[in-house]
């Protein structure tokens, strides 16, 4: 019996990177998973990798659009049953200093991260509260705690996710719906490994554990929050940073 045996989960931005690792971990622990993503081609490949449509499905979803978020959850429930877990992981970056950042760069990042997380939390909570059970996990970032140079849009969005998580947790706790957040630090993915060596080393130098996280190390913390092992936790923000920015 896995930690999520018989559970139904949705992971946004789940076609690659940390989101795919979360989906992979959930399936390994017995869950049926729907991946929501804007990249249909990569999403189809992810479903095949996870074991096919008996355990995973893909939903084309732009999390900025509440109707698409509702349709994604509809697909999960029609394919596998009532929703138990939602992970709001979809994201993007448009890094630049304030002087060079455009309004569109700011608006897009806020919309995908913060509005997207609100759309997902709102839609999932509405269904979960009727059954008086469910777990929502929002992926924030250490950037939302400390603010990082060139990320006024991203840091603002990720800090906003923390506030959203805590407020939503207070609203639905009496219905046994839990809302928590995870703040990863530097994680080894294709995107971060494309950084210039100087920037990568600069970030490593800030980490007491002297290494980047592997995606599965973030996924295991998300699994903990999705499972009954964290049954008395809500409104919590767990840092997965190797001690960076304590």
Residue in the structure block whose two tokens are 């690792």:
21
Q: Is residue 142 part of a domain?
A: yes
In a domain, 32, yes or no: yes
In degrees and rounded to multiples of 5, residue 99 shows phi and psi of -65, -30
Question: Is residue 84 helix, strand or coil?
Answer: coil
Integer-rounded Cα radius of gyration of the chain: 17
- In terms of phi and psi (left: phi > 0; alpha: psi -120 to 50; beta: otherwise), the region of 81 is left
Q: Domain containing 103 — which CATH number?
A: 3.40.50.720
Provide the domain count of the chain: 1
Asked if the structure places residue 245 within a domain, the reply is: no
The answer to whether residue 2 is domain-embedded is: no
Q: What are the phi and psi torsion angles at 93 (to 5°)?
A: -130, 150
Does 193 score more than 90 pLDDT? no
Percent of the chain with pLDDT over 70: 100
Q: What was the pLDDT predicted at 121?
A: 98
Domain residue limits at 60: 8-239
- Token pair 């009496």 is found at 174
Provide, for the chain, the percentages of residues in helix, strand and coil under a 3-state DSSP scheme, each rounded to the nearest 5: 50, 15, 35
pLDDT at 191: 79
Tokens of 62: 């732009």
Residue at 36 is within a domain: yes
Q: Closest by alpha carbon to 117, among 75, 156, 64, 167?
A: 64
3 falls within a domain = no
Candidates 80, 106, 118, 154; catalytic one: 154
In a domain, 77, yes or no: yes
Task: List strand residue ranges (DSSP E) for 67-225, in order.
Answer: 85-88, 134-139, 177-184
pTM > 0.85: yes
The reply to whether 244 falls in a domain is: no
Whether 232 is catalytic is no
Over residues 83-136, the pLDDT tens digits come to: 999 999 999 999 999 999 999 999 999 999 999 999 999 999 999 999 999 999
Residue from 144, 142, 165, 148 nearest 225 by CA:
165
In angstroms, rounded to a whole number, what is the distance separating the alpha carbons of residues 238 and 35? 23
């Amino acid at each position: 019996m896995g930690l999520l045996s018989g559970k139904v989960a949705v992971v946004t931005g789940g076609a690659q990177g940390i989101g795919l690792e979360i989906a992979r971990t959930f399936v390994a622990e017995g869950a049926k998973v729907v991946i929501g993503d804007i990249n249909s081609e990569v999403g189809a490949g992810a479903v095949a990798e996870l074991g096919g449509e008996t355990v995973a499905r893909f939903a084309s979803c732009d999390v900025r659009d509440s109707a698409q978020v509702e349709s994604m959850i509809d697909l999960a429930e029609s394919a596998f049953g009532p929703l138990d877990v939602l992970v709001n992981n979809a994201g993007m970056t448009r890094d630049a200093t304030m002087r060079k950042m455009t309004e569109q760069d700011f608006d897009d990042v806020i919309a995908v991260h913060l509005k997207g997380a609100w759309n997902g939390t709102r839609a999932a909570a509405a269904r979960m509260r009727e059954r008086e059970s469910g777990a929502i996990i929002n992926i924030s970032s250490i950037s939302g705690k400390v603010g990082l140079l060139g990320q006024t849009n991203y840091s603002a969005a990720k800090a906003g996710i923390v506030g959203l998580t805590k407020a939503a947790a207070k609203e639905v706790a009496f219905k046994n719906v839990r809302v928590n957040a995870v703040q990863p630090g530097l994680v080894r993915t294709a995107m971060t490994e494309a950084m210039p060596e100087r920037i990568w080393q600069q970030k490593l130098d800030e980490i007491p554990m002297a290494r980047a996280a592997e995606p599965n190390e973030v996924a295991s913390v998300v699994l903990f929050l999705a499972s009954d092992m964290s049954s008395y936790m809500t409104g919590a923000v767990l840092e997965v940073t190797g001690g960076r920015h304590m």
